[in-house]
Structure 1
Amino acid sequence: MSTENLGLKEAVSFALGGIIGGGIFAVLGVVAEIAGPTAWIAYLIAGIVVLATGYSYVTLNERSDRNGGSVTFVEEFLDRPTLAGMLGWTLIVGYVGTIAMYGYAFGAYFGAIFGLSRIPVLGVPSRPLLSALVIVGFVGLNLVGLRESGVIEDLLVALKLLVVVGFGVVGVWFGYTHDQLQYGVVEVTRTPTGPFLAAAVAFVSFEGWQLLFYDQERIENPVETLRKVVYVSIPVSTLAYVIVAFVTLSLVSGQQVVAHPDLALAIAARQFAGRVGYLAIGVAAVASTASAINATLMSTALFAKRMSSDRLIPDRVAGSQTEGVPTRALLGIGALTIGFTVYGSLQAITEFASMAFIVVFGAMNYVAVRQVEWSGPRVWIPVIGLAGTVVFLPLFCWHLYSEQFDIFVLVVGIAVALLLVEGLYFERRLVSEGVHSIRKRL
């Protein structure tokens, strides 16, 4: 995030940039593989649940005595610091997966634009190399303190929205005149759970807006501004996703999506705008994913530093005592992200990150349900958010277990490893006392 104070316009730009920045280019193909022509319904369902979650964040933030986000809310309203820390670790890992997803999309689109997709560079496939290089580049830029300004972010968001609106309008016109629009009604009747499963996978597409809650000291009138940001950025991004998914799945065959899930949007643009449309989407994707990497990388590092200052993660990891740029956190997050984006598949990265955010958003809705006035007219809003995440999580797990067992094993393995590390850290006194007691006996 920029060092300058953010007003409403800049905050909305950062939120929209975080949401639309990479998700619309990286996740659409994965969602389309599952939902087919009903992908637009999946995004609508996910958007409704995320908007309800946004209401939960806003409500908790208005009642909180401290500036913060998910971790702060659990600490303050549930008085469970260990649980808050575990949630924070989950968030950090989820953000690492998200940045890796953006890096994957950057490498795919950059390689496609410049004809490097099938050309190894120094014997290494170009996509993983390009993805790793962009992560290294932004880690370096952030280490020396170079950040994009609010003006640049405003321009990038305007470019993204212009491309998305243009893609949607021209795509709908082309599909209508060529009788190619597919509404997915038949597919819904055949597999009614498809859109809900795809909505769970699409969850990671809507992350980004909540990053602003972690840095409220840089926002003018933060409580009121964040309320407006949530109620503008989430509906606008949901509409953008719905339109883009509808057009793409109307113009691109299922076989093409399965073969090239990372380039689905550009392939659709080529149907009605030829090479120019393909390149326009490619340029927008490169700019958007790069901007999203930059913003999410620094925000995650600052979040880790703040957790370290609260003793929720080791100070050796995030360096809370250092002033300015959190060097250790940036280097650690960058290294983990490179590992994810180089060795992981787009599907595995996307689904892992989505599961992390389903858990975190579900927890926030649960906290909000405990705080709202049950006699109030809006109590049903956090209930919708909680119900949505409760439905998504088991459905998602069953899908991975039955259809993608290797990814299921990977996700479970990471979750178990994370829980073990968290347990050792938060119960380190008991572990130390136990080890000391054993040594005495020996």
Structure 2
Amino acid sequence: MTILRKRNKTLGLAELVAIALGGMVGGGIFTVLGIAVSIVGNLAPIAIMIGGCIAALAAYSYVKLALYYKDEGATYSFFKRTYPSSKFSASIVGWFVIFGYISTLALYAYTFASYAISSTSFANVIWIRKGIAISVIALFTMINVWSVNGMGKIEDIMVYTKLVLLTIISVVLIKHGSTDFGTFIDNMVVDAEKTSLFSILIVASLTFVAYEGFQLVINAVNEMKHPEKNIPRAIYTAITLAILIYVVLSVGALFAIPTEEIIKNKEFALAAGAGDVLGSLGTNIVILGAILATSSAISGTVFGSSRQMAVVAKDGYFPNWLSKRKNNIPIHAIITMALMASILILLGGLELILEFGSITFLLVSLLMAIANYKIRAKTNSSTFVTALSIIGLSIGGILILYYEFINELEQMLAIIFLYIVLGFGAYIYSKKVSKQVQN
């Protein structure tokens, strides 16, 4: 038994950082940039940096709870074990988190397909795009079912290659852009005079979704080496690298691409900008970077979320067959995650699903900070930092809801409807678990 456990500890620091970065540096940066520039102009890099600080505050409680509980159920298990008497709260956190992951998995696959065919004659053929999206989910489902170690090594290659490509793109855009550093600073000053702090904080909150994914590291606690050291190192390293990548990339885009073009193109702004600077070669480099970014995000999300789904199912809040494992790999959960994400892709409405995912993860991060505050003495957490996390995440959530209310009221109502449906499902399963405990 001891030998088997040692063999299962296959993920080192490099693989864990890759899993976290794979979950974070996915489709987010290719869509968030356009939204950020449309609201705050050349102050977008500052807003994106503040968004990273919010993510770091959220990560603090995740790290502390992970080191205390050492449970691959992560978000769900932390809340359940901190509030053991509330079956419904455990169930609803489990449902929200898992469906949040399903929504981001669908988004990453759809973004992969969009970039993969963006320079072909099939770019606007929706069913080819959806077919490619479902196919790439199937590919990484097979990889995750095949081998934990194999997944880790492939994730390493994809993540670190995409980091090199994104760095090259950033440097090229900055070096060959029509804007020099002095002009860029002048533009920032002009935008600062006409932009409120409130708007900057709204953008910072909206960019939180681009940092979602660091918690996937915790789902691998049973398969990692030296979790006491590697969990905090991997998470904080990944967030720091993500902030650097996003800021440099956003600066590069603003150096080379007129803000009106970034706002107009949004998802394809980087490809269009690189194309203007380097022609087809620049466009192809961006497309390759986007494909690698979304591929690693898909792989990391399938890996981490399936393990969390298996833990929730084992406790009775999902069907029990989802908890079954083979060689410690939750095959049924992996396949189910892939199938549900594929259904979302077929149904469409991914913009709605994206907003649902971003609000969900910010809300869940707030719940983690509250849970950590409750047992801060046990987790050896700073009262000040934990309280600051609660305040920061609360403000972020309120700002996103305000933005939705002002700009996307119908979308906000649809998200509320989704929460009601998921809440009903969570309630049904929590009642089943309560009956089993009583019997």
Q: TM-score, normalised by structure 1?
A: 0.86
The residue that corresponds to 2:399 in the other structure is 395
The residue that corresponds to 1:160 in the other structure is 162
Decide whether aligned partners of structure 1 residues 350 and 180 sit closer, same or farther in structure 2, where only a CA change above 3 A counts.
farther
Map 1:29-428 → 2, pairs under 5 A? 29-64=34-69, 66=71, 68-79=73-84, 80-118=86-124, 120=125, 124-143=126-145, 148-175=150-177, 176-177=179-180, 181=184, 184-192=188-196, 193-316=198-321, 318-320=322-324, 325-345=329-349, 347-372=351-376, 378-428=382-432
* Alpha-carbon separation, structure 1, partners of 2:181 and 2:238: 33
Q: CA deviation at 1:304?
A: 0.7
CA contact (8 A) 1:37 1:250 kept: no
* Structure 2 SS opposite 1:21: coil
The residue that corresponds to 2:3 in the other structure is none
Q: Any idea what the Cα deviations from partners look like across 1:53-110, whole Å, max 9, x if unmatched?
A: 2121122223336554212221222334432221121111111111111112111110
> After the TM superposition, which of the residue ranges 6-15 and 28-37 deviates more from structure 2?
28-37
Q: CA deviation at 1:336?
A: 2.5
5+ residue gaps in structure 2? 1-6
Q: CA deviation at 1:319?
A: 4.1
Q: CA deviation at 1:272?
A: 2.5
Q: CA deviation at 1:327?
A: 4.2
Q: CA deviation at 1:250?
A: 4.0
CA contact (8 A) 1:68 1:215 kept: no
Decide whether aligned partners of structure 1 residues 27 and 337 sit closer, same or farther in structure 2, where only a CA change above 3 A counts.
farther
Decide whether aligned partners of structure 1 residues 429 and 57 sit closer, same or farther in structure 2, where only a CA change above 3 A counts.
closer
CA contact (8 A) 1:27 1:202 kept: yes
* Alpha-carbon separation, structure 1, partners of 2:87 and 2:295: 34
Identity %: 24
Q: Any idea what the Cα deviations from partners look like across 1:204-250, whole Å, max 9, x if unmatched?
A: 21122211212211111102111111221111111111111222234
CA contact (8 A) 1:61 1:68 kept: no
* Alpha-carbon separation, structure 1, partners of 2:254 and 2:69: 43
Amino acid corresponding to residue 58 of structure 2 in structure 1: T
Amino acid corresponding to residue 167 of structure 1 in structure 2: I
CA contact (8 A) 2:39 2:203 kept: yes
CA contact (8 A) 1:172 1:247 kept: yes
> After the TM superposition, which of the residue ranges 423-432 and 285-294 deviates more from structure 2?
423-432
* Alpha-carbon separation, structure 1, partners of 2:65 and 2:434: 33
CA contact (8 A) 2:103 2:354 kept: yes
Decide whether aligned partners of structure 1 residues 166 and 422 sit closer, same or farther in structure 2, where only a CA change above 3 A counts.
same
Q: TM-score, normalised by structure 2?
A: 0.87
* Alpha-carbon separation, structure 2, partners of 1:101 and 1:26: 11
Map 1:17-36 → 2, pairs under 5 A? 17-36=22-41
Decide whether aligned partners of structure 1 residues 413 and 337 sit closer, same or farther in structure 2, where only a CA change above 3 A counts.
same
Q: CA deviation at 1:390?
A: 0.5
Q: CA deviation at 1:12?
A: 1.8
* Alpha-carbon separation, structure 1, partners of 2:140 and 2:69: 34
CA contact (8 A) 1:27 1:205 kept: yes
Amino acid corresponding to residue 104 of structure 2 in structure 1: T
CA contact (8 A) 1:141 1:147 kept: no
* Alpha-carbon separation, structure 2, partners of 1:172 and 1:32: 17
* Alpha-carbon separation, structure 2, partners of 1:388 and 1:154: 32
Q: CA deviation at 1:362?
A: 0.8
Decide whether aligned partners of structure 1 residues 146 and 14 sit closer, same or farther in structure 2, where only a CA change above 3 A counts.
closer
Decide whether aligned partners of structure 1 residues 137 and 149 sit closer, same or farther in structure 2, where only a CA change above 3 A counts.
closer
Amino acid corresponding to residue 56 of structure 1 in structure 2: S
* Alpha-carbon separation, structure 2, partners of 1:89 and 1:307: 8
Q: CA deviation at 1:295?
A: 2.3
* Structure 2 SS opposite 1:181: helix
* Alpha-carbon separation, structure 1, partners of 2:263 and 2:166: 22
Amino acid corresponding to residue 135 of structure 2 in structure 1: L
Decide whether aligned partners of structure 1 residues 340 and 202 sit closer, same or farther in structure 2, where only a CA change above 3 A counts.
farther
Q: CA deviation at 1:377?
A: 9.3
Decide whether aligned partners of structure 1 residues 135 and 151 sit closer, same or farther in structure 2, where only a CA change above 3 A counts.
closer
CA contact (8 A) 2:24 2:210 kept: yes
CA contact (8 A) 1:97 1:350 kept: yes
Q: Any idea what the Cα deviations from partners look like across 1:370-416, whole Å, max 9, x if unmatched?
A: 23359x99433222322121011122112112211221122111111
* Alpha-carbon separation, structure 1, partners of 2:249 and 2:63: 28
CA contact (8 A) 1:19 1:237 kept: yes
Amino acid corresponding to residue 220 of structure 1 in structure 2: K
CA contact (8 A) 1:102 1:289 kept: yes
5+ residue gaps in structure 1? 433-442
